[in-house]
Structure 1
Amino acid sequence: MKKPLNMLIWQWGRRGAGPKTAVEFSKAVTSIPGINTYLSLSTQAEIVIKANNLVVDLPVKTYSSIWGYICRILQAPLIIASLFKFIKINKINIAICTMPGPMDLIMAITLRLLHIPYVVVVHDVHPHPGDGYLFQHFLQKILIKKSRLTVTFSKYIYKQLLAVDYVPTSQIIEGWHPPFSYKINNSQQSVSGTEIKLLNFGRLLLYKGLDLLEEALDHVSSSKAYRLRIVGHGPQNPLLDRLNARDNVSVENRWVPEEEIAELMQWADVVILPYREASQSGIAATALAFGKPILITNVGGLAEQFKKEDLDLVFICEPTINEIAKGLDQILQLNFPISRKKHDADQEWKELAEHLINEITNKLDKSP
Structure 2
Amino acid sequence: MKKTDNILVWQWGRRGAGPKIAVEFSNALRSVVNSNVYLSLSTHAEIIAQNSSFKNDIPVKTYQSIGGYLKRVVQSPLLMIYLYKKIKNLKISLAICTMPGPLDLLMVATLKLLRIPCVVIIHDVYPHPGDGYIGQHFLQNQLIKQSSLVVTFSQYIYEKILSENIVNQNKVIAGWHPAFSYSAQKNYEKSRGKEVRLLNFGRLLFYKGLDLLDESLKKISSNQPYIMRIVGYGPQTVVLDRLNEHPNVVVENRWVPENEIADLMEWADVVILPYREASQSGIAATALAFGKPILITNVGGLAEQFKHEDLVFLCEPTIIDIAKGLETILKLSFPLTRKKHDAEEEWKKLARHVVDTVTSKLA
Q: TM-score range by the shorter chain?
A: over 0.9
Distance 2:77 2:197 in 1: 52
SS of residue matched to 1:178 = coil
- 1:40 deviation in Å? 0.2
Which residue does the alignment assign to 1:141?
141
C-alpha RMSD of matched pairs (Å) = 1.3
Q: Specify the code of the residue in structure 1 equivalent to 2:320.
A: N
- 1:361 deviation in Å? 0.4
TM-score when normalising by structure 1: 0.96
- 1:4 deviation in Å? 3.4
1:123-174 CA-partner distances (Å, limit 9, x unpaired)? 0110111225241222111001111100001111111110221210001001
SS of residue matched to 1:31 = helix
Task: Among all aligned residue pairs of Structure 1 and Structure 2, give the percentage whose two residues are the same amino acid.
Answer: 64
SS of residue matched to 1:109 = helix
Distance 1:345 1:198 in 2: 22
Gaps of 5+ in 1: none
Equivalent in 321, 339, 361 of residue 341 of structure 1: 339
Which residue does the alignment assign to 1:265?
265
Distance 1:278 1:68 in 2: 30
Q: Specify the code of the residue in structure 2 equivalent to 1:334.
A: L
1:188-234 CA-partner distances (Å, limit 9, x unpaired)? 55632111010000001110001111111111121101111110011
Distance 1:71 1:55 in 2: 26
Which residue does the alignment assign to 1:359?
357
More displaced 10-residue stretch of structure 1: 184-193 or 271-280: 184-193
| Structure-2 change in CA distance of 1:4 and 1:306 (3 Å) | farther
Tell me if the contact between 1:190 and 1:268 (Cα under 8 Å) persists in the aligned partners: no
Which residue does the alignment assign to 1:275?
275
1:290-345 CA-partner distances (Å, limit 9, x unpaired)? 0001000000001111263x2x3100000001100110011111111123332111
Distance 1:33 1:300 in 2: 32
TM-score when normalising by structure 2: 0.97
| Structure-2 change in CA distance of 1:40 and 1:132 (3 Å) | closer
Residue 22, structure 1, aligned to residue 46, structure 2: no
1:270-298 CA-partner distances (Å, limit 9, x unpaired)? 00000000000000000000000100000
SS of residue matched to 1:351 = helix
1:87-142 CA-partner distances (Å, limit 9, x unpaired)? 11111011000000011011011001111110000001101112252412221110
Distance 1:118 1:219 in 2: 50
More displaced 10-residue stretch of structure 1: 215-224 or 101-110: 215-224
Distance 2:330 2:302 in 1: 22
1:241-262 CA-partner distances (Å, limit 9, x unpaired)? 0110110011111100000000
SS of residue matched to 1:37 = strand
| Structure-2 change in CA distance of 1:134 and 1:74 (3 Å) | closer
Q: Specify the code of the residue in structure 2 equivalent to 1:227.
A: I
Gaps of 5+ in 2: none
Distance 1:304 1:290 in 2: 20
Residue 329, structure 1, aligned to residue 327, structure 2: yes
Residue 206, structure 1, aligned to residue 188, structure 2: no
- 1:35 deviation in Å? 1.5
1:120-269 to 2 correspondences below 5 Å: 120-131=120-131, 133-185=133-185, 187=187, 189=189, 191-269=191-269
Q: Specify the code of the residue in structure 2 equivalent to 1:29.
A: L
How many pairs are equivalent?
A: 363
Which residue does the alignment assign to 2:301?
301
